[in-house]
Amino acid sequence: MASLSPLLPAGTTAWLITDGKAGDLAPCRGLAEALGVMAEERVIAPRPPFSWLAPRGPADPRERALTAPWPDLAIATGRRAVPALRAVKSRSGARTFTVFLRDPRIGARAADLIWVPSHDRLRAPNVVVTETGPHPVSPTRLAAARADPDPRLAGLPSPRAAVLVGGDSRHGRFPEEDARALLAGLERLAGEASLMITASRRTPDRLRAGLADLARGRGGFFWDGSGANPYLAMLALADTIVATADSANMVTEACAAGVPVLLFEPRNLYARHRPLFEALKRHGTVHVFDGRVESLPSKPLDMTLAIAQAVANAYIGHRDALARRTAR
């Protein structure tokens, strides 16, 4: 589909290749939006033994998502997407420019351009390194949400605190002790700010019920899944944001809002997330959650456009090289 931005030439086509997980789709969508391209989402579903062999093995030859015509640009993330991205590169005759987000675990030759967070070790001339990754919480989206505020949230007294709660993941469970500590901290915070709470599909049932009870008892808002998802509106209207540390994407998106982010770290914090969070604390955007509103001002931390510019520059160089090769 056609590009809408001067970052890419008009008519640029693009695919987003993932296995459909929300945590993988979000950064791909954010990068595509920053590039200004209306990308097709190609969801792969490799079957054994090919799913077992990823990221090092070949793509599943039965994969229906990988069919011509091939795109000019392919963006992928997730372990199972690595073979698919390499297959697109090969089957397109190397014409497709490939981008992988996060460490592909097979080295820098997995794609034409790779983005990794600064705490990852992968380094090479084709690797872009920033503190935070691409995401869809853009300044334009935030401004639109502030200009036309969600009526469910707009009537809450200021200051407002957005509360973003995750839960169990493949890296560990959200212990009952941590759930009690989080609820106790939010109870204290409710004395200083109006709470706007959203939970995840991963949130344990008892914690979800406790969050809903807290919002009702304190005159706040808890999204029960009905109506439009208020996630972006919550970020846009918040004076401070509380986020649980089980999701790096959620914390990174919160940092784009330009308000202090208060981080609740469960005891079984995924070790690979810790360096990112420590870097964000040093930056001054993220603070430890202690049940109080953080008074220090904060500026938006969003590297999406910088990553998009790096992708665009490399893509244009690739297209120029193809044109020279064709002209010979």
Tell me, yes or no, whether 181 and 208 share the same domain: yes
Residues 218 and 249 in one domain: yes
Do 276 and 180 share a structural domain? Answer: yes
How many residues would you count in the chain? 328
Helix/strand/coil (H/E/C) assignment for every residue in 282-326: HHCCEEECCCCCCCCCCCCCCCHHHHHHHHHHHHHHHHHHHHHHH
CATH number at residue 229: 3.40.50.2000
Residues 57 and 165 in one domain: no
At residue 2, the pLDDT reads 41
Task: Tell whether 294 is covered by a domain.
Answer: no
Q: Does 212 share its domain with 249?
A: yes
Query: Quick check: 234 and 196 in contact, CB under 8 A?
Result: yes
114 lies in a domain? yes
The pTM for the full model equals: 0.92
Q: Are residues 115 and 204 in the same domain?
A: no
Position 294 scores a pLDDT of: 84
Q: Residue 140 in 3-state DSSP?
A: helix
pLDDT value for 270: 76
Burial class (CB in 10 A: 0-12, 13-18, 19+), 106: middle
d(CA 151, CA 227): 12
- Let me know if residue 295 belongs to a domain: no
Assess whether 150 and 129 both reside in one domain. no
309 and 228 assigned to the same domain: no
Is 246 found in the same domain as 180? yes
Please count the structural domains in the chain: 2
Looking at the fold, whether 167 and 110 belong to one and the same domain comes out as no
Residue 255 resides in a domain: yes
DSSP string, 67-110: -SSPPSEEEEESTTHHHHHHHHHHHTTT-SEEEEES--SS-GGG
CATH number at residue 119: 3.40.50
Least Cα distance to 165 among 209, 197, 206 occurs for 197
* Domain membership flag for residue 56: yes
pLDDT of residue 6: 74
266, 143: one domain: yes
| Strand ranges for the chain from DSSP E | 14-18, 40-43, 73-77, 97-101, 113-117, 127-130, 160-164, 194-198, 221-222, 240-244, 261-264, 286-288
Phi-psi category of 241—alpha, beta or left, where left has phi over 0 and alpha has psi -120 to 50? beta
Taking residue 40's Cβ as centre, other Cβ atoms within 10 Å add up to 15
Task: Please check whether residue 296 lies inside any domain of the structure.
Answer: no
Q: Is residue 58 part of a domain?
A: yes
Position 5 scores a pLDDT of 52
Would residue 128 count as lying in a domain?
yes
The rounded average pLDDT for each run of 10 residues, N- to C-terminus, in the chain (328 residues) is: 67 97 95 96 97 97 96 98 98 98 97 95 97 95 96 96 89 87 97 96 94 97 95 97 94 96 87 88 93 87 97 97 87
Domain co-membership, 181 together with 107? no
Measured between its terminal Cα atoms, the distance across the chain in Å is 29
Which domain does 122 fall in, by range? 14-134+304-327
